[in-house]
C-alpha cells in the first residue's frame, strides 16, 4: 500500500512526463480536474508547451459551473476553451438508461477529442480518481476506449488525497463540493427534460444558500427528496417552512428529508442486478 507522499511523487513524475508536449485537460472546474490543470500548467512552464482547459458546456450540469471553471483556469495559467455540447439528444440518453454515464461520456469525450485535434493536441487528461474505480462508473469505460489519460487514478490518489494535494497547491476550489450531472437526480428510466433539471438546479441553489455543503435534490415524479450531510439534517428541519415553500413554488407536491443523509449514487440502489464496470466492481454507488 503506497503512502500519500509516494502517490504524490508518482503523480508528479507522470505529470512531468506529460508536459513534454501540448496537453488538454477535460476541465469541469471541480477539484480533480483543477488539480490536474494546475500541475499540467506548472510542468508546461518548464517545457514551453501549451495547456488547454477544455470546459464541456452541457445542459446536464449547473449553469454556475462555467463561471467557476473560467476563473480557476485563469488562476492555473491555462488557455480556457469552451465546447458546447447538447448531449441529451446526441448521446441518446433521454430515457435515463442504466448506462447513461457511458453513453454520455462517449459522446462528450469524442467531441472533446475532435476539439483537441483542431488545437493540435494529442494528449488529453481527465480527473478520474482512485475512489471512482470502486463504484458504478460506466463512463470510465468510454474514457479508456478513447485513449484519455487519468493520472490521478493511475497514481492511486483518492478523493480525500486529491483535496489535500489541491490545498497544498493553493487551488481555490480544493474544498468545493462535487457537482455531478443533474441526470443523477432522477431514477433510471425516467424521461429527462431540461425544464425538470433546471428546477432541480434552482432547488439545490436555495438549499446551498442555507449553508449546506453536500446537497442533492432527488426527484421521484412529484416528490422532492432532500439529501444532505447527516450533521446538517437538523438545519433542514429548522428551515423546513422556507425550504418547503421554495420547492412547492418550483412545482413539487411533496417535500421529504432523507434520514439516511447524503450518500453518493443513492439512485443506484435500484439496480438489482450486478454488472461489471471498468474496474470490475459490482454496482454499489456512482459517486453522484
**Which residue has 504524490 as its cell numbers?**
8
Considering the domain architecture, whether residues 16 and 105 belong to the same structural domain is answered as yes
Residues 164 and 192 in one domain: no
Our count of domains for the chain comes to 2
Last residue of one domain, picked from the residues 168, 199, 223: 168
Evaluate whether residue 173 is within a structural domain.
no
- Cell numbers placing 39: 500541475
Q: Are residue 15 and residue 157 in the same domain, yes or no? A: yes
Whole-model pTM: value is: 0.89
Based on the fold, state whether residues 160 and 63 are members of the same structural domain.
yes
**Residue 279 confidence (pLDDT):** 39
**Considering the domain boundaries, does residue 225 fall inside one?**
yes
> How far, in Å, CA of 59 to CA of 61, rounded?
6
- In terms of domains, do 159 and 198 share one? no
Bridge pairing between strands 123-125 and 23-26: parallel
Domain region containing 45? 4-168
Residue 281 lies inside a defined structural domain of this protein: no
Question: Are residue 163 and residue 193 in the same domain, yes or no?
Answer: no
Does residue 274 lie in a domain region? no
Write down the pLDDT at residue 282. 35
Enter the DSSP assignment of 271: -
pLDDT digits (tens, 9 = 90+) for 56-107: 999 898 877 888 899 999 999 999 999 999 999 899 999 999 999 999 999 9
C-alpha grid cell, residue 260: 439516511
Residues in the chain: 288
- For residue 112, give the C-alpha cell: 472533446
Do 164 and 186 fall into the same domain? no
Residue 186 shares a structural domain with residue 164:
no
Same domain, 98 and 160: yes
Q: Does the residue 288 lie in any domain?
A: no
Residue 148: inside a domain, yes or no?
A: yes
Quote the percentage of the chain above a pLDDT of 70. 94
Query: Is residue 212 predicted with pLDDT exceeding 60?
Result: yes
- 288 pLDDT band (50/70/90 cuts)? low
Burial of 105 per CB tally in 10 Å (0-12, 13-18, 19+):
buried
Shared domain check, 225 and 155 = no
Q: Which residues neighbour 48 within 8 Å (Cβ) at sequence distance 6 or greater? A: none
- Answer yes or no: is pLDDT of 39 > 80: yes
Contact 69, 53 (CB under 8 A): yes
Does the pLDDT at position 271 exceed 70? yes
Amino acid at each position: 500500500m503506497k503512502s500519500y507522499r509516494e502517490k504524490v511523487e508518482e503523480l508528479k513524475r507522470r505529470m512531468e512526463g506529460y508536459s513534454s508536449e501540448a496537453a488538454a485537460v477535460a476541465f469541469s472546474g471541480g477539484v480533480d480536474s483543477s488539480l490536474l490543470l494546475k500541475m499540467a500548467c506548472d510542468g508546461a512552464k518548464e517545457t514551453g508547451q501549451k495547456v488547454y482547459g477544455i470546459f464541456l458546456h452541457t445542459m446536464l450540469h449547473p449553469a454556475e459551473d462555467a463561471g467557476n471553471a473560467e476563473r480557476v483556469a485563469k488562476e492555473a495559467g491555462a488557455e480556457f476553451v469552451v465546447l458546447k455540447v447538447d448531449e441529451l439528444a446526441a448521446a441518446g440518453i433521454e430515457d435515463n438508461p442504466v448506462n447513461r454515464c457511458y453513453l454520455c461520456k462517449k459522446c462528450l469525450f469524442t467531441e472533446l477529442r475532435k476539439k483537441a485535434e483542431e488545437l493540435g493536441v494529442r494528449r488529453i487528461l481527465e480527473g478520474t480518481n482512485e475512489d471512482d474505480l470502486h463504484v458504478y462508473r460506466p463512463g470510465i469505460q468510454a474514457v479508456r476506449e478513447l485513449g484519455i489519460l487519468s493520472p490521478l487514478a493511475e497514481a492511486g490518489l483518492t478523493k480525500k488525497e486529491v483535496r489535500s494535494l489541491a490545498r497544498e497547491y493553493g487551488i481555490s476550489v480544493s474544498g468545493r463540493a462535487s457537482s455531478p450531472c443533474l441526470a443523477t437526480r432522477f431514477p433510471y428510466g425516467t424521461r429527462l427534460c431540461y425544464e425538470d433539471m433546471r428546477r432541480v438546479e434552482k432547488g439545490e441553489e436555495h438549499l446551498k444558500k442555507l449553508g449546506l455543503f453536500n446537497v442533492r435534490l432527488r426527484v421521484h415524479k412529484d416528490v422532492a427528496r432532500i439529501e444532505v450531510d447527516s450533521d446538517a439534517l437538523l438545519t433542514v428541519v429548522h428551515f423546513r417552512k422556507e425550504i418547503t415553500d421554495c420547492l412547492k413554488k418550483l412545482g413539487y407536491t411533496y417535500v421529504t428529508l432523507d434520514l439516511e443523509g447524503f450518500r453518493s449514487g443513492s439512485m443506484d440502489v435500484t439496480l438489482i442486478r450486478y454488472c461489471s464496470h471498468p474496474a470490475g466492481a459490482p454496482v454499489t454507488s456512482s459517486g453522484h
